[in-house]
Amino acid sequence: FFNRDRPPVGDKNLYGNHPFLLGVDSDWKGYGVFLHTSNALEVVLQPTPAVTFRSLGGVLDLFVFTGPTVDRAVQQYQRVVGFPAMPPYWGLGFHLCRFGYKTLNRTRYIMESNIKAGVPLDTQWNDIDYMERSNDFTYDKKNFEGLPEFVQQLHSSGRHYVVIVDPAVSGSEAPGSYPPYEDGLAMDVFVKNVTGGIVYAKVWNDKSSVFPDFSHPNASVYWAKQFASFHNEVPFDGAWIDMNEPSNFYDGHKDGCPPGQKEDNPPYIPGGEKLSAKTLCMSDRHFISSHNNVHNIYSQLEARATYKALVPIRQKRPFIISRATSPGQSAWSGHWSGDISSSWEDMRLSIPNMLSFGIYGFPLIGADICGFNGNTTVELCARWHALGAYSPFSRNHNTDDGIDQDPFSLGPSVIMAAAVNLGIRYVLLPYLYTLFYRSHVYGETVARPLFFEFPNDPKTYDIDEQFMWGSAIMFCPALYPGQTQVNAYVPAGIWYDMYGKRPPINVNNGTRMAFSAPLSDATLGLFRGGHAFALAMKVTTTAEHRQSPMVLLAALDKDGAARGELFWDDGDYLDSVEKGRYNLYKFSSDWREKVVISASPEKVGCDENPLVAFVFVVGVEEAPKNVTIGGKSLIFQYDDDAKLLSIRDLGEHLNSGFEINWS
């Protein structure tokens, strides 16, 4: 457990460290074990059963969480490390990026081409090629001329812009030409070596790079100054913090690490690889301690400083995605899974990675759609868009030596897969946003494994190619080349095809079922009976949600009932939950009590007042004779094959509450 800059492979440690073990006893009771330490760590699992933790030092706090369910154990863990931040609503839209646009004109062309092709899009990103010679807090005035105006145009269309920022800044610019270096010198915030001199390392900068010491008392002020200065030039909306393991092109220093330092040459090294490989020397000094003790939390310190830098700049909810992570960092940032390959295997592995990070307390998680390294194919990218549309964080991004892999560039099949599935994502966003609220307040997972919802079904524990959104929606993607159907495991209960293509599925005991899976079609999604949802109209940006009415959907269980809720605010207000500036609505349907659906405002703390235009109820066994609201008859339709009751043009606001009845 030691943060490394390394393309993800199965048997090596990755960008983050999360020494949290989630276990299940033979009677299906869940528990958790967490060793809280910032030092390099080795963990050995034994069949006894037993687990051995081997740490190189530091403060050791061992926590045992008694559950008794897996979801409760995860919530107990998050109460220790901290609950995740609430993302802005626009951050749950689709994001587009690549390393290697090389010019603003190319960035604009790709973005506008995808928009014209019908791909929903909320946020455009740029990698380090927007910078002047790869220097943080600069932009290339030649190749990206007009960048500030481009960002303003994005804002005018209801979209957003995110820039990449690496922790290291150039240490070799001409005097008076680069404030990030000179301000750091003046404020004494750079990492030092054992003799007190500044460490000159190397990343993307021309000659040398220096690393801010984010544990220094001046570091947050320094970092905020750089962000504010750059934001005055380019009014970006979010930060993508990369290379923060921290990564270094040297192994320690240019000439290696100093001799005679025990921290650089410990008697035992977890995993066997020297600790300074592609990072700083363990003997390098931060304000609070040596790098040996700070390395694994460096990204968290940077994420916290970045969050605090963005708050005064925008006066809105920060949006931050980080490569390196450590326990509790989700209070400041989300995570993407790094430089994965454009391969079928890595696409499949993105699901357990997503689910694992949900367990670690990182609900804002996703992989680069279509992969980062190597070249994707049309079939792979179409399938990956059909999967990635349902990752909590959804972004297409790839390397500078790969082909263009945005939907427009790969043609009709990928455009269709992206447009269809992202369109569905945008319809589901109010539900997804509510799950993030519950994660922020209660520590619940957003994307979760099936066994979280069906702990007494042993067959669900090995399933890592399906996943749930909360307790109410199950996704079953196609993940293999040439695949034409999905052999999905459907747990006990009543399930409804999300798209109304199939009759209700009533399962007494969990079973495998075959579903057709045409390329470029929607990923199989099933609503779980017993749940009610607020959904959006079909739009192409989250900004349009604010101008559009909502849809209420109830999926009835075997007793003819459904329950649900909606968290709603302005989508961007800072600390809206903590300050009570939000609305919370409860929905219920009870067919036995002749309640089609009721909507009750449990809390009204902001001016938002969604309008409900449509109501759909699935699982209705026969058509009612009459449907009313407040004694007034409503026009409705009934589809016997789909068991679907539809009410259109309702025109009721949620803040007033209402109840629809049948007879």
Residue where the block lists tokens 């290697």: 100
Residues of 571-608 as b/e, b for ≥16 C-beta within 10 angstroms? bbbbebbeeebbbbbbbbbbbeeebbbbbebeebebeb
pLDDT digits (tens, 9 = 90+) for 422-456: 999 999 999 999 999 999 999 999 999 999 999 99
Q: Is 503 exposed, middle or buried (0-12, 13-18, 19+ CB in 10 A)?
A: middle
Residue 22 has pLDDT above 80, yes or no: yes
Q: Is the pLDDT of residue 549 over 90?
A: yes
Residue 163: per-residue pLDDT: 99
Cβ contact 334:325 at 8 Å? no
Provide φ and ψ at 329, rounded to 5°.
-70, -20
Active site annotation includes 401: no
The hierarchical CATH code for the domain 528-662 is 2.60.40.1180
Q: Do 506 and 532 meet the contact criterion of CB atoms below 8 Å apart?
A: no
Please enumerate in sequence order all residues whose Cβ is within 8 A of that of 345, keeping only pairs 6 or more positions apart, or say none: none
Whether the full predicted model's pTM is greater than 0.85, yes or no, is yes
Mean predicted confidence (pLDDT) in 609-629 = 97
Closest to 589 measured CA to CA, from 552, 623, 562: 562
Query: Rounded to an integer, what distance in angstroms lies between the CA atom of residue 402 and that of residue 89?
Result: 31
b/e per residue, 632-646, with b = 16+ CB within 10 A?
eebebeeeeebbbbe
How far is 425 from 119, CA to CA, in rounded Å?
12
How do residues 295-338 score in pLDDT, each as one tens digit? 999 999 999 999 999 999 999 999 999 999 999 999 999 999 99
The string of pLDDT tens digits covering residues 83-110 is 999 999 999 999 999 999 999 999 999 9
C-beta of residue 74 within 8 angstroms of C-beta of residue 327: no
Instruction: Report pLDDT for 500.
Output: 84
- Let me know: does 582 contact 570? Beta carbons within 8 Å: no
Report helix, strand or coil for 459: helix
pLDDT, mean over the chain: 97
Strand, coil or helix: what is 555?
strand
Q: Which helix or strand (DSSP H or E) is residue 542 part of?
A: helix 542-545
Starting at the edge strand found earlier in the chain, the sheet holding 61-65 runs 20-24, 30-36, 61-65
Q: How many CB atoms lie within 10 A of CB 11?
A: 4
- Residue where the block lists tokens 């932009």: 139
From the list 127, 173, 213, 242, the catalytic residue is 242
CA distance 626 to 472: 29
Q: With cut-offs at 50, 70 and 90, classify the pLDDT of residue 288.
A: very high
242 catalytic residue (yes or no): yes
Cβ neighbourhood burial of 626 (10 Å; 0-12, 13-18, 19+): exposed
Q: What is the pLDDT of residue 57?
A: 87
**Rounded Cα–Cα distance for residues 568 and 609 (Å):** 9
The full 3-state SS of 117-147, as one line of letters, equals CCCCCCEEEECHHHCCCCCCCCCCCCCCCCH
Runs of H (alpha helix) within 330-377: 344-359
- Residue 388 clears pLDDT 90, i.e. is over it: yes
**Cα 563 from chain centroid?**
26
Find, among 410, 409, 389, 400, the residue nearest to 347 by Cα: 389
Say which of 183, 237, 245, 453 is annotated catalytic: 245
**Residue 12: half-sphere exposure toward Cβ, Cα within 13 Å:** 10
- Mean pLDDT across 508-515: 96
Residue 58 has pLDDT above 90, yes or no: no
Q: Is the pLDDT of residue 10 over 90?
A: no
pLDDT in tens, 192-212: 999 999 999 999 999 999 999
Tell me which of 59 and 444 has the higher pLDDT: 444
At 59 the pLDDT is 84
**529 confidence band (pLDDT: 50, 70, 90):** very high
- Residue 403's pLDDT band, with cuts at 50, 70 and 90, is very high
**Residues 229 and 220: beta-carbon distance below 8 Å:** no
Chain centroid to CA 85:
11
pLDDT at 271: 79
Q: Rounded to an integer, what distance in angstroms lies between the CA atom of residue 52 and that of residue 44? A: 5
Give the pLDDT confidence score for residue 532 in this predicted structure. 98
- Give the C-alpha distances (Å, rounded to integers) separating 197 from 174, 261, 273, 434: 20, 16, 27, 49
pLDDT at res. 270: 83
Q: For 527, which DSSP code?
A: E
